Amino acid sequence: MKHKKILEYFMIEGTPGGNQDWLIEWDMNRGGCAAVTACDLCMLLSRREKFRKLYPFDANHISRDDFIKFSSIMKPFLFPRYHGVDFLETYICGLKDYMQSVKSNDLIIEGLSGNVSYEVFAEAIMNQIDDNFPVPFLLLNHYDSELEDFFWHWFNLAGYVENEENEDGLNVLTVTYGEYKWFPLRKLWDTHYKRKGGIIRVRCSLFNAL
């Protein structure tokens, strides 16, 4: 039996989410992926009245120009480093600081390392998507050259399909560079490297549940 959930992602000029290639500042164009995923997350959440402050423009009419402006607002909090935003903790601190700057403190932001078991990793992703939150995902090095575009890169997960008859167990929908792509989660998780990335876990605080 298949279990499936795909988030209703926003579209800009016919493509899903923000696109790093649109960013004008050279450092953001080359290394702004963390900020892009945070922008997407905030823009999606701002559709809910409780989180309206997370996006300074009109969440129901998102334009390319507004996304570029928003990425510049997010940049001081998740700016590209020499090695990129390559630790979950760096991302969490930046996102929390942005949320505090706009006085939106109704979310709990935590990290989950890719070094946990596949089962724990998969369950966390499904739970978050089931709760209608995208999942920011950090992939560092990987053995499979077919994933080269995702090396040392942040992207969002926006859906999953579970198939108990498939040994890979779970396929996940990635969103990056204005494109959707499906991958087996086990492949993204099993990098063959000791140091892994992980995901950002987002949920409402107990006192601000939806």
Q: What is the CATH number of the domain that holds 180?
A: 3.90.70
Residue of 118, 106, 121 whose CA lies nearest to 200: 121
pLDDT at 80: 92
Residue 206 has pLDDT above 70, yes or no: no
- CA 146 – CA 8 distance, rounded (Å): 27
Look at 15-24, 39-48, 114-123, 159-168 and tell me which has the smallest mean pLDDT.
159-168
Instruction: State the pLDDT confidence band at 174, using cuts at 50, 70 and 90.
Output: very high
- pLDDT for 102 equals 97
Please state whether beta strands 153-163 and 170-176 pair in parallel, antiparallel, or not at all (unpaired): antiparallel
> What was the pLDDT predicted at 83?
87
Provide the number of structural domains found in the chain.
1
State the residue range of the domain holding 16: 2-208
pLDDT, residue 207, reads: 47
Place of tokens 């909090």: 77
Global pTM reads: 0.94
**pLDDT one-digit tens code per residue, 90-117:** 999 999 999 999 999 889 999 999 999 9
Q: Compute the average pLDDT of residues 186-190.
A: 96
Average pLDDT value for residue range 41-63? 94
Q: Once rounded to an integer, what is the mean pLDDT over residues 134-161?
A: 96
C-alpha distances (whole Å) from 13 to each of 82, 88, 156, 180, 187 are: 31, 31, 19, 14, 31
Cβ contact 75:25 at 8 Å: yes
Show the beta-strand stretches assigned E in the chain.
2-6, 11-12, 15-16, 107-113, 135-139, 153-163, 170-176, 179-184, 198-204
Does the pLDDT at position 1 exceed 70?
A: no
